[in-house]
Amino acid sequence: MEIAGYRVPLEVVRIREDIKTMKIRGAGNIARHGAQAIAIAAEKYSGKDLEDFKKYLKAVADYVKSARPTAVSLPNSISYVMSRLEKGRPSSVEEAVEVVTRAAREFIAYSENAVKVIAQLGAKRIERGDTLMTHCHSRASVEVIITAHRQGKVGRVYVKETRPALQGLITAAELAREGVEVVLIPDSAVRYYMKRVDKVVVGADAVAANGAVINKIGTSLVALAAKEARARVYVASETYKFSPYTIIGELVPIEVREPTEIVDFAWLAENPGVEVFNPVFDATPPEYVDAIITEKGVIPPQSAMLILVEEYGVAPTSTEHLAHAVDLE
C-alpha cells in the first residue's frame, strides 16, 4: 500500500483494516492501536533523512486516522504521539523513532490506567442492589460494572443486544463470566425494562465541548427512556475521547456503515425500491446525562469544556494552541 509516495508497512495496513472492519473496536481500543500503528510505522522507516521521516509519518498518521470517523480517540491518540515528535525536537531519525515509540507506549499506558481509575470512580456511583442497564460493548463501562459487582453492589444488569453488530453479546458474555447477573434484551425492549433500572452505564466515542455524548446508535434512546423513568445515566469516558474539534464548531461525524450489516445482498437485490441506512452512532444531549466519569474525576456533562481547556491548554476563543490537535485550514 502506497500513501503520498510512501510505502505503508503491512502491519499498519492490517491494523487500519481491522479498525475499519471492527475486528479492533471500542474507542479506547481503537486509540491504543492507532498509537501502536504509528510506533510500528516509525520503527519500519529505513531512511536517514529526518524531514522525510516526518513527512512519511504524517502520511501514515493521516491514513490510520481515516479508518473510522466517529471515535475522536483515534485522531487524539495519534495527535498525542505526533505532537511529541514535534516537541521532542529530535536531531536524527534514530532519535525521532525513539521519541515516537516512547510516546506511543506512554499513551497506551495512560489509556489502560485511565480505564482502571474510571472503574474505581464509576463504581462509587453504584449503590448496593442497583439494577443497571448498558448498551453496546464499552471496556470502560464493563470495568465500572465489574468493579461495582466485586464490591457486592450490582443487582442485575440488562444488556441490550445492540443491533446490527450485536456488541451487547460481548458485554453480556464478559459480565456473566465475572458472575454478574445478566439479562440480554432486544434493543426494542429498552423502555419496557427501564422501569426496573436504577442506573444506566454507557461508554463514549466522543464527548463534544457542550457535553453531548456520541456513542453507539441507540444510546440517545436509552438516555431518553432513562430520563422518563428517572434512572440516572452515567457515561464512562477517558478524557482523550473529548473532542477538541468541537471547540471550533466542528460536529462529530457520524459513521454510516454498509446496508449489508442490516440486510443481506439477496434481500437488497429483491427490494430495489428500499433504501437502507445504517448510521452507527448518535448524540445524546447533555441534559440526558447525569455525569461523565473520567480518569480526572466525575464531572457534569456541562463541564466538558473544562476538560478540553485543561487538555489543550487553551481558552475557547484561541485556536492557535489547538493547531497540534486540529488541522486548522
Please select the residue that binds ligand RUB; options are 174, 205, 282, 295, rule is CB under 6 A.
205
Which of 136, 198, 282, 327 is flagged as catalytic?
136
H or E stretch including 160?
Answer: strand 154-160
Prior bond of 259 cis (ω within 30°): no
Amino acid letter for position 291: A
C-alpha Rg value of the chain to the nearest Å: 21
3 burial (CB, 10 Å; 0-12 / 13-18 / 19+) is: middle
The answer to whether residue 75 forms part of the interface with ligand RUB (CB under 6 A) is: no
**Shortest spacing between CB 115 and ligand RUB, in angstroms:** 7
Nearer to ligand RUB, 28 or 34 (CB): 28
- Distance, CA of 119 to CA of 104 (rounded, Å): 23
Q: Among the candidate windows 20-28, 45-53, 152-160, 188-196, which touches ligand RUB by CB under 6 A?
A: 20-28
Residue 18 known to be catalytic? no
Q: Among the candidate windows 53-61, 187-195, 197-205, 317-325, which touches ligand RUB by CB under 6 A?
A: 197-205
The answer to whether residue 9 forms part of the interface with ligand RUB (CB under 6 A) is: no
**Residue 173: φ, ψ to 5°:** -65, -45
Cβ atoms < 10 Å from Cβ of 195: 12
Strand-pair partners of 222: none
- Are 161 and 184 a contacting pair, CB within 8 Å? yes
The answer to whether residue 215 forms part of the interface with ligand RUB (CB under 6 A) is: yes
The answer to whether residue 138 forms part of the interface with ligand RUB (CB under 6 A) is: yes
**Shortest spacing between CB 6 and ligand RUB, in angstroms:** 28
**Shortest spacing between CB 143 and ligand RUB, in angstroms:** 8
Nearer to ligand RUB, 60 or 71 (CB): 71
- Distance, CA of 113 to CA of 140 (rounded, Å): 11
Q: Among the candidate windows 44-52, 94-102, 134-142, 172-180, which touches ligand RUB by CB under 6 A?
A: 134-142
- Distance, CA of 63 to CA of 57 (rounded, Å): 10
The answer to whether residue 90 forms part of the interface with ligand RUB (CB under 6 A) is: no
Cα–Cα separations (whole angstroms), residue 18 to 40, 104, 215 = 15, 19, 20
**Shortest spacing between CB 147 and ligand RUB, in angstroms:** 14
Which of 49, 62, 205, 282 is flagged as catalytic?
205
- Are 180 and 146 a contacting pair, CB within 8 Å? yes
Nearer to ligand RUB, 215 or 284 (CB): 215
Nearer to ligand RUB, 97 or 125 (CB): 125
**Residue 123: φ, ψ to 5°:** -60, -30
Please select the residue that binds ligand RUB; options are 8, 12, 27, 235, rule is CB under 6 A.
27
Residue 205 known to be catalytic? yes
H or E stretch including 7?
Answer: strand 6-7
The answer to whether residue 206 forms part of the interface with ligand RUB (CB under 6 A) is: no
Cβ atoms < 10 Å from Cβ of 9: 18
Nearer to ligand RUB, 27 or 81 (CB): 27
The residues binding ligand RUB (CB under 6 A) are: 22, 25-29, 71, 136, 138-141, 167, 203-205, 215-216, 280
Catalytic residues: 136, 205
